[in-house]
Amino acid sequence: MDHRPRIYDALLAEHLAAHRQMAWVSGPRQVGKTTVCRSRGTHYLNWDNADDRRVILRGPAAVAEAAGLAVLGAGRPTIVFDELHKYSRWRDFLKGFFDVHGARAGVVVTGSSRLEVFRRGGDSLMGRYFLFRMHPWSVAECLHPAPAAAPIRPPGRIDAESWTALWEHGGFPEPFLRRESRFTRRWRASRQEQLFQHDVREVAQLQELATLETFATLLAERSGQQLVHANLAREVGVSVDTARRWVDLLGRLHHGFLVRPWFANVAKSLRKEPKWYLRDWGAVEDPGARAETMVACHLLKAVEGWSDLGWGRFELRYLRDKLKREVDFLVVRDRKPWFLVEVKLAERALSPALGHFQAMTKAPHAFQAVFDLEPVEADCFAESAPMVVPARTLLSQLL
């Protein structure tokens, strides 16, 4: 398999060189967290490794000794802790290690997709870490495996082979880089098994795993649609409260994510019904739903990355009113609408909803991102009126 540098390599290197705080790297399973973190570290300790576990259990002093912190002139090592959240006293351990040895060592903490779940209750670590949320490959990352100086990049042209691979195999590193259909199908089946046989069991005490798996399949088939918990509950034979808990659980495990409606200054807007998107857009069968899901994943990567890098507070929303006018996405920057995105496979005729909602939200930009348009060397964000743009050009300007 081809190995290519990722934007997260550069982000971690920059963080470790400039900041004293620990770097916490979270994200979906098999998104490449361990690979990237190990490449940045000089010492790697995995809780699942019996030898490493013994060192950790001996306490911060033993880890410091193993990393050579007591050796004069040894430099400033970077210690990577993987799967440490499985240790019941992991917060106390990290706090003790960082408070005593943090000035002389860089610290990176990563693990399975559950790291953000276990972050709850960790107030004693506030101010001691910065969070980096890792996402699959994107169009912009194929073009620029390094951070930009501003949220929006200049436009670029992704090569046809990489674009096709993103569309067919999704952005998770192994299937995207290998680009073999049989491997991708086996990889997805293995990842699904890992999710329900291991991840769910560790986070929640559930007796109905088979029903939850059916529930997740229904969600995958409806990626990009409004989520009505009562309908889902009825189809799988569970209560509405159970359906809500399961959606929340699958979101916390990074199987998918919710996009909620934006209703500030929008007359007759919907306020409750979120939309659900699968993280692995390549697994969505319907072409239109796959296109919308692919853009959703790119936008989520952008808003979370921009927020993590301190460029502001960004949110991903959508717009819909009671007259059924809808725009697929709205990116909000510091509580102010920034740009709208409507996704189409081939439709060139501008959606009237774009202009309507741009006028209501006062968003500076509104785009209709069309998938079958060839990319152009033009800045989408130079325009203020609603504009039909190639999806590849718009996505190239994100993160």
One-character DSSP codes across 315-372: EEEEEEBTT--EEEEEEEETTEEEEEEEEESS--SPPHHHHHHHHHHT-SEEEEEETT
pLDDT of residue 75: 80
Q: What are phi and psi of 282, to 5 degrees?
A: -65, -20
Q: What contacts 298, CB < 8 A, 6 or more positions away?
A: 138, 139, 140, 395, 398
Give me Rg for the CA atoms of the chain: 22
Final residue of a domain: which of 133, 158, 193? Answer: 133
Residues 164 and 301 in one domain: yes
For residue 218, is it within any domain? Answer: no
pLDDT of residue 265: 73
Residues 121 and 160 in one domain: no
**pLDDT < 70 regions, the chain:** 1-3, 72-74, 113-123, 205, 267-270
Q: What are phi and psi of 202, to 5 degrees?
A: -75, -25
Which DSSP letter does residue 165 get?
H
246 vs 232: CA distance, rounded Å: 11
Residues 104 and 156 in one domain: no
State the residue range of the domain holding 73: 7-133
Residues 128 and 144 in one domain: no
Using CA of residue 238, residue 286, residue 196, residue 279, what is the dihedral sign?
negative
Residues 83 and 98 in one domain: yes
Burial of 305 per CB tally in 10 Å (0-12, 13-18, 19+): buried
For residue 120, is it within any domain? Answer: yes
pLDDT of residue 370: 98
Residue from 252, 276, 133 nearest 203 by CA: 252
Residues 88 and 156 in one domain: no
Residues 64 and 169 in one domain: no
pLDDT of residue 110: 94
Residues 152 and 277 in one domain: yes
Number of structural domains, the chain? Answer: 2
Residues 160 and 61 in one domain: no
For residue 243, is it within any domain? Answer: no
For residue 216, is it within any domain? Answer: no
Residues 146 and 23 in one domain: no
pLDDT of residue 204: 72
30 vs 134: CA distance, rounded Å: 10
For residue 389, is it within any domain? Answer: yes
171 vs 299: CA distance, rounded Å: 13
For residue 213, is it within any domain? Answer: no
Question: pTM of this prediction?
Answer: 0.94
16 vs 19: CA distance, rounded Å: 6
Residues 125 and 148 in one domain: no
Question: Alpha helix locations (H) across 7-89?
Answer: 7-18, 33-40, 50-57, 60-66
pLDDT tens digit string along 298-322?
Answer: 999 999 999 999 999 999 999 998 8
pLDDT of residue 111: 84
pLDDT of residue 147: 86
For residue 225, is it within any domain? Answer: no
pLDDT of residue 201: 77
Extract the tokens encoding 96.
């003790």
CATH of the domain at 108: 3.40.50.300
C-alpha distance from residue 88 to each of 11, 84, 92, 196 (Å): 29, 9, 9, 22
Extract the tokens encoding 140.
């912009």
Residues 257 and 310 in one domain: yes
Final residue of a domain: which of 133, 166, 186? Answer: 133
Residue whose pair of structure tokens reads 């949320």 in the numeric block: 133
Final residue of a domain: which of 133, 158, 173? Answer: 133
